[in-house]
Structure formats: C-alpha cells, structure tokens
Copies of this chain bind each other. A is one copy, B any other.
Amino acid sequence: MCQLLGMNCNVPTDICFSFEGFSARGGKTDDHSDGWGISFSEGKGCRIFLDAKPSIASPLAELVRRYPIHSTHVIAHIRKATQGEIAIENCHPFCRELWGRYWVFAHNGNLPDFHPQNNGFFQPVGNTDSEQAFCLILNALRASFPDGKPPLKLLYPVLSKITAELNSIGIFNYLLSDGEHFFTHCSTKLWYIIRQAPFAAAHLIDEEMTVDFSELTTPSDRVAVIVTIPLTDNEIWTQIQPGEILVFQDGLPLNVE
C-alpha cells in the first residue's frame, strides 16, 4: 500500500508544510519507504520529482521541503511496493500528455491479478498495476473524446465508468489532475480539508510543527488538501465517500452532476 497527498488551490501555493508531515511517513512515522514522488502543475507546465529512496532519506525530498514551489495542483505519493520492484519507473505520480495537457496520476491500493489487455495508445513503462490502470483510464478518455477535452459534464461519466470497473478489481483510491481539474477517487479511504478565511493554526501529527495560516494568506485564498490519512490533529477533515469521485477546482469540490 501507499499514501497519497493532493493539493488544489485558487492561487499558486507551496506545499512545504503538508509535505513536511507527509514525507515523514516515508520511513520515520510510517513505513512507506519504497520511493516517493511529487508533481507540481505550474500553468500548463508540470514538474515531477521522483526518487526510489525513502522520502526521509532523499536529498530531493529535502529540496522539496525547503524550496517553495508554488502550484495550484499538486500530487504526492509515498510508496510501499505491492507490485513492481523498487525503481524510478515504478514511482508515482505517472504522467502522460493527452489533448495537449499533462495528466498526472497517483494510486493508493492494490489491483490483484490485474493483467489487462491494452490495445490503446498509452502503454505502461514500468510494471505496476497503478500505471496499467492510469493508461486504461487515459485510453478510455481518448477513445470517447478523440478531438479534445470535452466539458466536465461529458468527461465525468466516462471517467466514472472506467473507475468503477477498475475499483471492482481491488482497492483503487487515486488522485488525477490535468492542471485544470483535480479528480479524487475514494475506494476505501481518502480525506480532505478546505482551508479558507478565517484561517487558523494547524498542527502536524507526524512532526512537532505548527503553522498559523492567518499570517501567510490573503482573505481570498482557498486551498483544498486531500490525503489518505489526515495530516493535522487540530482541524476537522471530511471523508470522501467510498465509490465517489470528487472533482476540485480553485480549492473547492465542484457540483458535477
């Protein structure tokens, strides 16, 4: 199993505080030490940092904790390998270009005995169930909408259908983003919090660290943080319902249906 951390905001924001607590779970406060990765969408661009080392021992993770990259869509993952050896090609998040946008995906769970036929365009490079599933999702989206990204109302049911099929095989919590919409699917566990004015102080569970967001924000800022297990012990987190796909934009879940 693995753990997921996502962030979606209305203005580019750094994830240093949340990543501090999250990355501690990669070998210090928890045992997800088979590699890690994080993606930052910046405009249409995307930067991904991957390391097969545990996040607590990785010079790259140290850089991400210390160097504030401002982004509206962030997906992070710490890995505890179930399928696929410990290697860069098996680290999440995975990325593909579809419709002239970078799509990024990370998975928590396990799809046992999952050896799908893949006659589509996107092919996995590594040998995880997660990357296979990501390729199937993108192939399904592209097959349904060959000419470009459709409105969310049309995309959502196609994504829901392929997600339900994959979810029936095993555990399939995921974060998926194209830098415009931030999709979160809860299979078994996924929590979120929305931080907005009036901002307060937050205290990490995994590190002795508190940040007072009221000192760092403007009144119009809004940030959604999505995570496998809540990161703070003095805030109220909301559980996404199993089987639900929540779509975030500008730090808020959208009402799609």
Contact = CB atoms under 8 A, between A and B. Distances in A.
A156 interface: no
Contact of A60 (B63, B87, B123): B63
Nearest to A90: B45
A67 interface: yes
A89 B100 CA distance: 11
A45 B91 contact: yes
Interface residues of A, number: 31
A99 to B, nearest CB: 7
A164 B151 CA distance: 39
Contacts of A97: 96, 122-123, 125
Number of copies: 2
Contacts of A60: 63, 67
Given A60-B67, A63-B59, A67-B60, A44 B123 contact: no
Interface string A25-69: 000000000000000001111111110000000011001000100
Contact of A45 (B50, B59, B121, B122): B50
A88 B46 CA distance: 7
A16 to B, nearest CB: 13
Nearest to A59: B67
Contacts of A43: 87-89
Given A60-B63, A67-B59, A96-B97, A45 B87 contact: yes
B45 A126 contact: yes
Of A46, A88, A95, A121, chain B has the most CB atoms within 10 Å of the CB of A88
Contacts of A87: 42-45
Interface of A: 42-50, 59-60, 63, 67, 87-91, 95-97, 99-102, 121-126
11 contacts: A42-B88, A44-B89, A45-B91, A47-B49, A60-B63, A60-B67, A63-B63, A96-B96, A97-B125, A99-B123, A102-B125
Q: Which 5 A/B pairs are nearest by Cβ-Cβ distance?
A: A45-B88, A45-B89, A100-B123, A44-B89, A42-B88
